[in-house]
Homo-oligomer: A and B are copies of this chain.
Amino acid sequence: MTSTASTTPVGASPMPLDASRLIIERTTNPQPVPSASDRLSSLGSRCTDHMITVKWNEQTGWSVPKLEAYGPLTLMPTASVLHYATECFEGMKVYRGFDGKLRLFRPECNTERMLQSATRISLPAFDPAELQKLIVALLAVDGPKFLPNSEPGTYLYIRPTLIGTTETLNPQTPRDALLYIVASYFTIFPEDSATGLKLLASEESMVRAWPGGFGFAKIGANYGPAMLAQRYAKEKGYQQVLWLLGEDGQVTEAGASNFFLVWRTRDGVVQIVTPPLDGKIILDGVTRRSVLDIAKEAVTLKEAGFGDIEVVEQKFTMQDLLEASQEDRLLEGFAVGTAFFIVPVDEIGYQDNVVTFPGEKGKDGEHSAFIKEKLRGIMLGLSQHEWGFVIPEEY
Contact = CB atoms under 8 A, between A and B. Distances in A.
Given A42-B170, A43-B168, A72-B77, 4 more contacts: A84-B220, A84-B223, A85-B220, A119-B228
Interface of A: 1, 4, 7, 42-45, 47, 51, 70, 72-78, 80-87, 89, 91, 119-122, 157, 159, 161, 163-164, 167-173, 180, 182, 184, 186, 188, 204-207, 210-214, 219-228, 230-232, 235, 256
A77 B73 contact: yes
Given A87-B83, A172-B227, A224-B84, A51 B73 contact: no
Given A120-B228, A213-B225, A73 B74 contact: yes
B81 A82 contact: yes
19 contacts: A4-B232, A43-B168, A43-B170, A47-B77, A73-B74, A73-B75, A77-B182, A83-B159, A85-B87, A85-B219, A86-B224, A120-B228, A122-B224, A122-B231, A171-B188, A173-B230, A206-B212, A207-B210, A210-B213
A278 to B, nearest CB: 12
B172 A186 contact: no
B70 A73 contact: no
**How many copies altogether?**
2
A214 B219 contact: no
B121 A225 contact: yes
A162 B221 CA distance: 15
A157 B169 contact: yes
Contacts of A120: 225, 228
A98 B163 CA distance: 42
Contacts of A186: 78, 168-170
A364 to B, nearest CB: 23
A219 B4 CA distance: 24
Which 3 A-B residue pairings sit nearest by Cβ, starting from the closest? A85-B220, A207-B212, A221-B221
Contacts of A171: 188, 223, 226-227, 230, 256
Contact of A224 (B220, B228, B231, B235): B220
A206 B51 CA distance: 35
Nearest to A91: B169
Contacts of A87: 82-83, 85, 224
Contacts of A44: 168
